[in-house]
Amino acid sequence: MTEKSTGTALTPAQESNVQQLVEAGNQMSIAHAAVIDSFDVIKSLGRIEAANFFTTVGDKLIAETALNIRDSKQYKGLPYKDESGNIRQVGDFPEFCKVFLGKSYTRTMELISNHNLLGADLYEQAERIGFRQRDYNALKSLPADDKLIIAQAIESEDLDKALDLMQQLAAKHQREKETTEKQLDELVKSVGAKDSVIKGKSEELDKKNEQLARLQLEKNTKINEVMMPGEYQLSRLQEYSREITARIEATLRGEIVNLLNEFPDELPVPMQLAIAQSFGMIIATARGVAHDMGIIPIEAVDEAVDDPAKILADKFMAHEAAQVAEDA
């Protein structure tokens, strides 16, 4: 005798409903897992965003902290453990940078310099848009007016615009520098050429004066081998006068040309007065000596006696000839 089953058999419709419930449960499990995965992704992205933020403001905070502690000397004596676990005290600012800031002294000073260059707010904006140390170095080399232009681009948080402007301004200043250096080189060459011409003329004038003095002495010797009274002293005075006159002329001309080269457009009035005063000193000195000696200077050269020694010698020779005639 067989036992009858006590279970109730499911109808096809019931089996279909059960299958649908199982599938729905599986789908809910998959959706739940997806939601969990999505939360994990969002959390990871949040961590990345936070890390990026702290990277952006980290250098700014380090710069401000280092600046305050450096100026207040609060780093001195701060205790810390070295790699061996020994307690040590900070002795100087570079040691503080390495131990407490995790930065080298050089890098810390770069951050402080960047902070001082732009100020706290603008420095933070520059860090946020992606400024690098090479960009700060390029900005430091620009004039103050150009820095204001770059600051406006940083304030608008436009990195490409700021970098393009710095590149254009740097190229502009390089062209101006090259032009200035070229002009300066040409000016130096021009002044050197003028100095060479003046020096050559001065040397040529000295040679001519020397030749003239030698010829004059030879002529006087031929006229009369017996020196007339005062003739030697007069000859020395004339030779000295010609020599000092030539030197004064060459020196004055050379120095005035050098001064004029410093003012290519127009010589300032004070400079003109100073030059006139220099001439006046020479003239006044010569007139003072003449006054002390009771001599009235003859400034018109054509009125002066060309060769007083020759005149004296001619009179002496005429006198000698008259004496010979009387004796005959």
Could you report the per-residue pLDDT of 190-242, keeping only the tens digit for each? 777 777 777 777 777 888 788 777 777 766 655 455 555 666 677 777 778 87
As given in the structure block, the two tokens for residue 194 are 């003028």
Please say whether the beta carbons of 256 and 195 come within 8 A.
no
Grade residue 314 by pLDDT with cuts at 50, 70 and 90: low
Residue 191 has a pLDDT of: 74
Locus of tokens 């453990």: 81
Grade residue 302 by pLDDT with cuts at 50, 70 and 90: low
Please say whether the beta carbons of 239 and 211 come within 8 A.
no
Residue 325 has a pLDDT of: 73
- Report CA 175 to chain centroid distance, whole Å: 15
Per-residue exposure over 286-302, b if at least 16 CB sit within 10 Å of its own CB, e if not: eeeeeeeeeeeeeeeee
- Asked whether the whole model's pTM tops 0.95, one would answer no
Name the residue with higher pLDDT: 92 or 177.
Answer: 92
Nearest to 96 by CA among 113, 84, 109, 85: 109
**Alpha helix segments (H runs only) across the chain:** 12-72, 93-96, 105-118, 120-129, 133-140, 144-155, 159-223, 231-261, 269-292, 308-327
Residue 168 backbone dihedrals phi, psi, to 5 degrees: -65, -45
Look over the chain and give the mean of its residue pLDDT values, rounded to a whole number: 76
Q: Is 77 left (phi over 0), alpha (psi -120 to 50) or beta?
A: left
